[in-house]
A and B are shown apart, each in its own frame.
Chain A
Amino acid sequence: MRRFLRPGHDPARERLKRDLFQFNKTVEHGFPHQPSALGYSPSLRILAIGTRSGAIKLYGAPGVEFMGLHRENNAAVQIHFLPGQCRLVTLLDDNSLHLWSLKVKGGVSELQEDESFTLRGPPGAAPSATQITVVLPHSSCQLLYLGTESGSVFVVQLPAFRALEDRTISSEAVLQRLPEEVRHRRAFEMVEALQEHPRDPNQILIGYSRGLVVIWDLQGSCVLCHFLSSQQLENVCWQRDGHLIVSCHSDGGYCQWPVSSDTLQPEPPRSCVPYGPFPCKAITKIFWLTTKQGLPFTIFQGGMPRASYGDRHCISVVHNGQQTAFDFTSRVIDFTVLTEANPEAAFDDPYALVVLAEEELVVIDLQTAGWPPVQPPYLASLHCSAITCSHHVSNIPLKLWERIIAAGSRQNTHFSTMVGLAPAPPQPRARLAHELLRHLLQEWPINGGTSLAPAPPQRDLLLTGHEDGTVRFWDASGVCLRLLYKLSTVRVFLTDTDPNDSLNAQGEDEWPPLRKVGSFDPYSDDPRLGIQKIFLCKYSGYLAVAGTAGQVLVLELNDEEAEHAVEQVEADLLQDQEGYRWKGHERLCARPGPVHFEPGFQPFVLVQCQPPAVVTSLALHSEWRLVAFGTSHGFGLFDHQQRRQVFVKCTLHPNDQLALEGPLSRVKSLKKSLRQSFRRIRRSRVSSRKRRPAGPPGEVQEGRSRAERTGLQNVELAPVQRKIEARSAEDSFTGFVRTLYFADTYLRDSFRHCPSLWAGTNGGTVYAFALRVPPAERRMDEPVRAEQAKEIQLMHRAPVVGILVLDGHSVPLPEPLEVAHDLSKSPDMQGSHQLLVVSEEQFKVFALPGVSARLKLKLTALEGSRVRRVGAAHFGSCRAERYREHHLAVLTNLGDIQVVSLPLLKPQVRYSCIRREDVSGIASCVFTKHGQGFYLISPSEFERFSLSTKWLVEPRCLVDSAETKNHSRLCDRPGPEKASGRARNSGSQSDGEERRSGPVMEHALLNDERVLKEIQSTLEGDRGSCGDWRSQRAAVGYGLSNGGGCS
């Protein structure tokens, strides 16, 4: 009768569903794809990045993040904050200007677009007349000066973008006010630079591309000064006191021009070509910054010798006889220097260089000797090497968390600590310990705004496997995805190049003084090193990773460095199959003898599958000390306690030739594989260019796209057709092992449960092996035994993507050791267990031990979508504290995310999440155990989404209005430290008490690690209060989403 109860007929259930499920894309982790513009507000201490797809992202203190998207799908070319205000102006490549502002709504700031504007010239004027090249927000915040290609400077009034035509500074007007001898040399062309006088808001500097620079008096409409250089002008910098102008030029040189009231044009006193005398590339941007010590900082982009270093992406820093050319692995988009924010201060005193490169953000500490890089707390380049797989582990025990951080901190010694550089934002007490732990070692200079998001309720790890054989451990607990630790498996193998070679190649007396910075390195030495599967046991610290060339490593966390040999075992998955020849890649050669390992995860066993095909599935059972692995040929079980193979099973179909040749057989050379990976990068770029969140698209655009669609249909030559044929057993890759699963359940009879291993193949076959694991005291003496107990052939023969055993209460069996650590109720072993097999097409529940079919949901037969990813998750209700349900989170090939109930397999909710064309996004999706998930929206960015009403990680932050800040700064000279603190306090009165106590606490703790630990442990013990907090949080989240839906 149950089948007649269609979903939607039960109002109580519908209500409950609303309390349980809710879909949100909460935050984007990683580095924005294809950045195209950089902006920084010294007063807000907030950084803005614009992208080619028209997104702008704002970052302040860790956790303070905003994102906005222009309606137009155009690249953001420039971003300018209005001085001292929570507003910014963006220029797109379609020549439109947009005004954005951070408005406080319901206690949190929101980024929204207020106005947009396109500059119009007089009728009949050339389009270049109004093509904007430079934008200067005036310090009055009322006016915007726009330099154009025609040489005119237009003025618009903010915030309404009202063009003030009478104030336009045309090139003719400037020409008339110049002396005779200058007028002869067609000195104009486009405006390259616009600057306001640092002290006098009535003067602006206009630089033209032909080399003329004038200082224009806004009130008197006259030229105060002019400077004429013989070289094309690229950019200018006005010294803080206004007495000096530094201009940089296309020949790779820069000039200093003293500014005096004397209107006579002086000859340039000094022209300097830093990397001469041979022809150099242009210096495109320059900073000339004064210090208290007297000697200025000169920081400039480009200027490298054209012939030998013209292809480098460099920014040079010159100070006090030191000179370093920071060499970036990707193109430099833009850079800025963080200096004293107070305009009244006498010196710039630069403290950090912020460089936006195409693939990463690099921050250099300019106050510490040697100018070390600073590790950003966000904007991590996930794609330093291409991501090949990911694995999420929820709720990491504190002990393991600390050990991983400790291992990681030893890897980051080359980063600057930046202590005392910039004030730490006062923190609410609740998150103090957590934050301190993360920032104990360093301070982040871009720390505007206050994150109001409560501390994450638990510690989550996201592990990413990379093409270069590394596994990166990310802190995925909160809004900032932060690298904790990097594990490299390369050491275990012999590779062509020694990884240390390239770093030490640079000599001391090299000129130019290049220094490689940044971590982006897309070139993999050997594609076989790529990591394909990861499995971490959070209780025992055992980790299994498996790679492209059939290598399976079992690793153990060790806090000390060690030197030992890695034991090698070969697993012959073909076994007695005869006459096959593997045409794929060779296996990797293991390094013989003892290998030195740094503290962290250290491999102790290497199981090498033969043939060395890609490992397609992996499971680790830390309690039984077993690791199971599968490839396209079969699967095997390895006892890593006794270091002994338990069994292997060949799943090959006799006709399956493809599986034997190997997927990489066509990859002939490294060059070719490089080319392929480039192609892949390009492809994914193209696809992400099309990605835009489903906003209301402009009508024009919609009309156009429809026209395009119909046009395409008419043009269509041969229609795409699809063959309809029943699947036969002879399809390729039927033996491909898709999933492996350990369970302690009733496999043979309903009286005794025993350990079991389940394997599902691409051809719809499920194998079940009964295992006999000796008890702990005899674990080393007796062998582990395995015996095939069952084999299920699904009639629809679709690939098996998930296997799960439900206990007597229909709850998924807990993870190994979970019960032993008192973190889970022990499973119900009284009632009858059920087996859930998820294929790409169906969900099926069988009763154990008889394996009789109970229920099924034929997803593909009903809606034509296929299951791509499935994960068991529990969902808490946002109303009832204790209430929770276990369900399956499912991602289909159409990019839809569905929740399917357990054990009745009723579809609950369905949301469209990923575009169906975005194959790499769909393939990269991982689900967490709490109804969240991640998928790649570009090679470098994870989108985080949540299906749960209760577990929501999203930025909630406050950026205080500038007026209060300015005020406090003006009356409070030494500045930023106190000022920002006060401003923040004024931002919210409700818990001002707590905040004021912040700084005191912070100092105490910073100086005493023991106290810090104590606080941390009290927080640990206080998990009950976390629960309270959670419910409160959920309520807020619910309200918020409603608001979001309306706006």
Chain B
Amino acid sequence: MNRSHRHGAGSGCLGTMEFGAEFRRFSLERSKPGKFEEFYGLLQHVHKIPNVDVLVGYADIHGDLLPINNDDNYHKAVSTANPLLRIFIQKKEEADYSAFGTDTLIKKKNVLTNVLRPDNHRKKPHIVISMPQDFRPVSSIIDVDILPETHRRVRLYKYGTEKPLGFYIRDGSSVRVTPHGLEKVPGIFISRLVPGGLAQSTGLLAVNDEVLEVNGIEVSGKSLDQVTDMMIANSRNLIITVRPANQRNNVIRNSRTSGSSGQSTDNSLPGYPQQIEPSFEPEDEDSDEDDIIIEDNGVPQQIPKAVHNTESLESLTQIELSFESGQNGFIPSSEVSLAPLASGTNTEFETRAPDQKLLEEDGTIITL
């Protein structure tokens, strides 16, 4: 009952990555396929790539490339083997997610049509759906339980994403209810969302939303430039509390019985910062603050800390490192194999630089 399996594997070596493919055949017990993790370990063992993260996919009976990343689809794949199961392994950093999906394998073979009809290349790219374990929070609504329902506290995780934050703020005035009646007070508003930016993609922020707080600090009384500086200083872990311009989608909770939401918030506003203070400690949000230190032996390390939040993501470290190497002209030797050299952080880095070059002087040119 042994079955042969065929593999295509991308190697870690940069020279052979594009052309080289390694093939392995081995057999599996169809009736007792075991767990996905065991299978994954087996693949790594067979290919002698114990520490490389890979994506596993298989060709189903229709010729589609489908992923194997949990027990269910693993079992499904084994059961559909007829009798050979073709499994494809890609190094995760270089993974081409668009390869997965219906008709993918068939189309791939159809090289000739691609050459003859170059329009095909311009076809709308497939929507990228990454593996569940690759999901990383981009944004979240937090502190729903302690905020008035007219307010929304949004956390943007700039961390690890290459996407720009992508929004603009402006001065404006908003109407508050005070003991002396309605009063116009200056406020800060979101003025523009950059298409494709992080802020827009979350759907949690909109133009004309009033910004009330930045990382727990009230913006009232602060100038536009001050608020800008605060947001940029917190840009790696930005938490903004807004009063959405559109109040219709609010969830009316039982605890609050107010019907006219807009005005009730205005009333509650002066009191509520104290109310939320205990729940929010900006000082706790320090996971983003690990400076990089390079000793004279050339091995970069993050600065050790007594209390360290382990949340820190490797991907960030790598991005930082690649910047470093660009700046100093050296590549730390221990990192060579891991650095995504060929797949182009560096090349991308250079080609994108011209349009990204912002001239932010910040007054530092003044040398008086």
Contact = CB atoms under 8 A, between A and B. Distances in A.
Interface in B208-242: 215, 217, 222-236
Contacts of A731: 357-358, 360
Nearest to A859: B233
A382 to B, nearest CB: 13
Interface stretch (B2-10, B109-117, B289-297): B289-297
B293 A861 contact: no
B104 interface: no
A863 B217 contact: yes
Highest count of chain B CB atoms <10 Å: which of A657, A770, A799, A863: A863
Nearest to B227: A864
A158 interface: no
B279 interface: no
Nearest to B240: A724
A726 B158 contact: yes
B326 A865 contact: no
A291 interface: no
Contacts of B168: 721-724
B313 interface: no
Nearest to B284: A3
A919 B363 contact: yes
Contacts of B356: 728, 730
Given A721-B168, A729-B323, A730-B357, A861 B289 contact: no
B327 interface: yes
Contacts of A920: 368
B303 A893 contact: no
A851 B301 CA distance: 11
A728 B360 CA distance: 11
Interface stretch (B62-70, B125-133, B169-177, B263-271): B169-177
A614 B368 CA distance: 11
A389 interface: yes
B295 A721 contact: no
Nearest to B294: A791
A732 interface: yes
A923 B164 CA distance: 32
Contacts of B328: 791
Given A731-B360, A851-B303, A388 B368 contact: yes
Highest count of chain A CB atoms <10 Å: which of B226, B227, B292: B226
Given A791-B293, A795-B292, A725 B217 contact: no
B164 A853 contact: no
Interface in B135-181: 158, 164-173
Nearest to B358: A731
A794 interface: yes
A852 B303 CA distance: 6
B71 interface: no
Given A726-B165, A729-B323, A655 B353 contact: yes
Contact of A795 (B164, B226, B289, B326): B289
B231 A850 contact: no
Interface string A381-401: 000000111000000000000
A190 to B, nearest CB: 46
A532 interface: yes
A337 to B, nearest CB: 39
A725 B296 contact: no
A726 B170 contact: no
Given A719-B170, A724-B232, A655 B292 contact: no
B338 interface: no
Contacts of B223: 864, 916
Given A721-B191, A724-B165, A731-B360, A863 B230 contact: yes
A1005 interface: no
A519 B235 CA distance: 51
Interface of B (DSSP majority class): mixed
A964 to B, nearest CB: 48
A1016 interface: no
Interface stretch (A94-102, A272-280, A782-790): A782-790
Contacts of A787: 296
A790 B228 contact: no
B291 A853 contact: yes
Contacts of B290: 795, 853
Given A654-B327, A721-B169, A793-B324, A726 B291 contact: no
A924 B368 contact: yes
Nearest to A576: B329
B331 to A, nearest CB: 15
B53 interface: no
A389 B282 CA distance: 38
A653 interface: yes
A519 to B, nearest CB: 21
Given A3-B283, A722-B169, A799-B364, A788 B192 contact: no
Interface in A23-61: none
B365 interface: yes
Given A856-B289, A862-B217, A863-B230, A614 B171 contact: no
A860 B229 contact: yes
Given A729-B327, A731-B360, A865-B226, A795 B169 contact: no
B353 A730 contact: yes
Nearest to A530: B367
A724 B235 contact: yes
Highest count of chain B CB atoms <10 Å: which of A654, A657, A720, A721: A721
B71 to A, nearest CB: 39
A853 B305 contact: yes
Contacts of A844: 291
A719 B190 CA distance: 11
Contacts of B353: 655, 730
Interface in A755-806: 762, 770, 787-796, 798-799
B197 to A, nearest CB: 9
B37 interface: no
Contact of B235 (A727, A851, A853): A727
Highest count of chain B CB atoms <10 Å: which of A713, A795, A856: A795
A533 to B, nearest CB: 8
A789 B283 contact: no
Given A616-B367, A726-B235, A793-B320, A732 B357 contact: yes
Given A719-B171, A862-B217, A738 B364 contact: yes
A850 B304 contact: yes
Given A721-B169, A795-B292, A861 B327 contact: no
Contact of A793 (B225, B229, B292): B292
A736 interface: yes
B364 A724 contact: no
B142 to A, nearest CB: 18
A852 B169 contact: no
Contacts of A799: 362, 364
B326 A654 contact: yes
B367 A389 contact: yes
Nearest to B226: A864
A726 to B, nearest CB: 4
A865 B191 CA distance: 22
B251 interface: no
Given A726-B232, A852-B304, A789 B295 contact: yes
Nearest to A710: B184
Contacts of A982: none
B327 A653 contact: yes
Contacts of A944: none
Given A727-B232, A795-B289, A863-B226, 8 more contacts: A654-B327, A725-B232, A731-B360, A791-B328, A841-B229, A860-B233, A864-B223, A864-B233
30 contacts: A3-B283, A388-B367, A616-B367, A721-B191, A724-B165, A724-B167, A724-B169, A725-B232, A726-B164, A727-B235, A729-B326, A731-B360, A732-B359, A736-B364, A791-B294, A795-B236, A846-B303, A851-B303, A853-B291, A860-B233, A861-B215, A863-B217, A863-B230, A864-B222, A864-B223, A864-B228, A864-B229, A864-B230, A864-B233, A923-B366
Give me the 8 closest cross-chain CB pairs, A-B, nearest first: A864-B226, A726-B235, A860-B233, A861-B233, A864-B230, A923-B368, A721-B170, A722-B228
